[in-house]
Amino acid sequence: MNRAQRGVGGSRGLGTMEVKSKFGAEFRRFSLERSKPGKFEEFYGLLQHVHKIPNVEVLVGYTDIHGDLLPINNDDNYHKAVSTANPLLRIFIQRKEDADYSAFGTDTMTRKKNVLSNVLRPDNHRKKPHVVISMPQDFRPVSSIIDVDILPETHRRVRLYKYGTDKPLGFYIRDGSSVRVTPHGLEKVPGIFISRLVPGGLAQSTGLLAVNDEVLEVNGIEVSGKSLDQVTDMMIANSRNLIITVRPANQRNNIVRNSRTSGSSGQSTDNSLQSYTPHIVQNYHPEEEESDDEDIIIEDSGEPQQIPKAVPTCESLESLTQIELLHESTQNGFIPSSEVNLFHSAGSINMEYEIHDADQKSLEEDGTIITL
């Protein structure tokens, strides 16, 4: 981020607004011209300047009229902050290292909770929010069944979130053959199957995959015609956000799609938010999963940092999302420490399916391959 320290200051005039900025234990007060707030980068530089932290990468947040802590990281939300601040704009600055940038967006809740409580401690008796402004994908994702509404009933698309757990993915695949219905009648074709689940691994603990399930797609790419090694490489390359479409060996647990309740329960944990952008979740686009973008750089033997995006695009919202995420999660009382915890403790409707499935696991493993 080539944010130069430009645009410092600005003469106080009639339309000025008071800014109270907190970094660590220190407060700074200064003013801004409400009608000409300038760019976010200038504001960022200004904050670095007034706090005398020119080379420290920081996260900037403010409290809105509801007392919620919201991030400022682009021109839009900066302008929003300025326009809504009345009369005082309260700014909270957080060191990026402390915020553990490597865990950006989708890190473990525990870490984020700590960060969060640090940030929010001075202000933690504000009201509970009822406005949700984050995107669904900013939630800490968990393994789930997705795209129930667009897939044939005989197929299941499973998203395995490796990230944030210590569990190994824990499954093996093998070559095999399955029978397909073609215009020329039944035809035996080679396929890739799940051959083994490692006890205690992610795949087993979610209960979403079973031995002898036929793998049809990996992250949206069909595996037909690909070799076992190729599919292995694809899965490993996508291991941080692996989406496998399978034809379950046991077809008895298939979702009956015309039932509305089960239709929604088949979706992932973000069903409460689907009114926002349901298609992002439901129609998976490989390009939008930038799970491996968190490359780390260590400059001059300093602290590791996440490599930022060079071009500020919509993806730079990432910095926004982290705080949002923390925020929302706490407010929903939704801070599981691990996947297992999530599955077994969350009693919400949307979990029903997965739990049911997990209980069926042993049955599935013994099931015969039914593939038509």
Partner 1 sequence: MRRFLRSGHDPVRERLKRDLFQFNKTVEHGFPHQPSALGYSSSLHLMAIGTRSGAIKLYGAPGVEFMGLHEENNTVLQMHFIPGQCQLVTLLDDNSLHLWSLKQRSGTSELQEEQRFTLRGPPGSSPSATQITVVLPHSSREVLYLGTESGNIFVVELPSFRVLEKRTISSETVLQRVPEDYSNRRPCELVEAIQEHPRNPDQILIGYSRGLIVLWDVQSNKATHHFLGSQQLENVFWQRDGRQFISCHYDGSYAQWPVSNDNRQPEPLESKVPYGPFPCKAISKIYWQVTKNGLPYIIFQGGMPRASYGDRHSISVIHGSQQIAFDFTSRVIDFFVISNADPAAEFDDPSAMVVLAEEELVVIDLKAPGWPAVHPPYLASLHCSAITCSHHVSNIPLKLWERIISAGSKQNSHYSNMLWPIDGGTNLAPDPPQRDLLLTGHEDGTVRFWDASGVCLHLLYKLSTVRVFLTDVDPNDNMNPLGEDEWPPLRKVGSFDPYSDDPRLGIQKIYLCKYSGYLAVAGTAGQVLLMELNDEAAEHVVDYAEADLLQDQEGYRWKGHERLKARDGPVRFEPGFQPFILVQCQPPAVVTSLALHSEWKLVACGTSHGFGLFDHQQKRLVFVKCTLHPSDQLALEGPLSRVKSLKKSLRQSFRRIRRSRVSSRKRRAGNIAEVQEANAKFDQGALQEMELAPVQRKIEARSAEDSFTGFVRTLYFADTFLRDSSRHCPSLWAGTNGGTVYAFSLRVPPAERRMDEPVRAEQAKEIQLMHRAPIVGILVLDGRSAPLPEPLEVAHDLSKSPDMQGSHQLLVVSEEQLKVFTLPKVSSKLKLKLTALEGCRVRKMAVANFGSCQTDDYSENNLTVLTNLGDIQIISLPFLKLQTRYPCIRKEDVSGIASCVFTKYGQGFYLISPSEFERFSLSTKWLVEPRCIIDAPEITSNNHLHNTSGMEHTGRKSRDLGRSSGDTGEDERKSGRLMEHALLNDEKVLKEIQSTLEGGRGRGDPIPIYQRSRTLSTRIQELYRKKFGKKSRRTWAK
Per CB under 8 A, residues contacting partner 1 are 1-2, 162, 168-175, 195-196, 218-221, 226-240, 242, 285-287, 292-301, 304, 307-311
Q: Is the dihedral of CA 353, 354, 359, 360 positive or negative?
A: positive
3-state secondary structure of 85: coil
Minimum CB separation of residue 166 from partner 1 in Å reads: 10
Answer for the pair 353, 145: CB distance below 8 angstroms, yes or no: yes
Cβ nearer to partner 1, comparing 181 with 298: 298
Q: Which residues of 182-193 are buried (b: 16+ CB within 10 A; e: fewer)?
A: eeeeeeeeebbb
CB 37 within 8 A of CB 82: yes
CA separation for the pair 199, 365 (Å, rounded): 13
- Could you tell me the smallest distance in angstroms from the CB atom of residue 333 to partner 1? 30
The span from the CA of 128 to the CA of 332, in Å, is: 9
Cα 293 from Cα 210, distance rounded (Å): 30
Give min distance, CB of 9 to partner 1, in A: 25
Given its phi and psi angles, is residue 73 left (phi above 0), alpha (psi -120 to 50 degrees) or beta? Answer: alpha
289, 219 contact by CB (below 8 A) = yes
Structural contact between residues 328 and 139, judged by C-beta atoms closer than 8 angstroms: yes
Burial class (CB in 10 A: 0-12, 13-18, 19+), 309: middle
Judged by CB, which is closer to partner 1: 195, or 271? Answer: 195
The least CB distance from residue 186 to partner 1, in Å, is 24
C-beta of 88 vs 236, nearer to partner 1 = 236
Between 153 and 290, CB nearer to partner 1: 290
- Considering the complex, what minimum distance in angstroms separates the CB of residue 32 from partner 1? 28
Terminal-to-terminal C-alpha distance of the chain: 53
In the complex with partner 1, the residue whose CB is nearer, 63 or 206, is 206
Contact yes or no for 60/28 (Cβ under 8 A): no
Give residues with Cβ within 8 angstroms of 203, minimum separation 6. Answer: 160, 169, 170, 171, 194, 197, 209
Query: Which one, 296 or 363, has the nearer CB to partner 1?
Result: 296
Least distance from C-beta 146 to partner 1, angstroms? 18
**What minimum distance in Å lies between the beta carbon of 164 and partner 1?**
12
Q: How far is the CB of 195 from partner 1 (least distance, A)?
A: 5
C-alpha distances (whole Å) from 352 to each of 4, 30, 44, 363 are 51, 52, 45, 18
User: Nearer Cβ to partner 1, position 256 or 287?
Assistant: 287
Cβ-based nearer residue to partner 1, 153 or 292: 292
Residue 79 neighbours by CB distance under 10 Å: 16
The least CB distance from residue 90 to partner 1, in Å, is 30
Which CB sits closer to partner 1, 237 or 349? 237
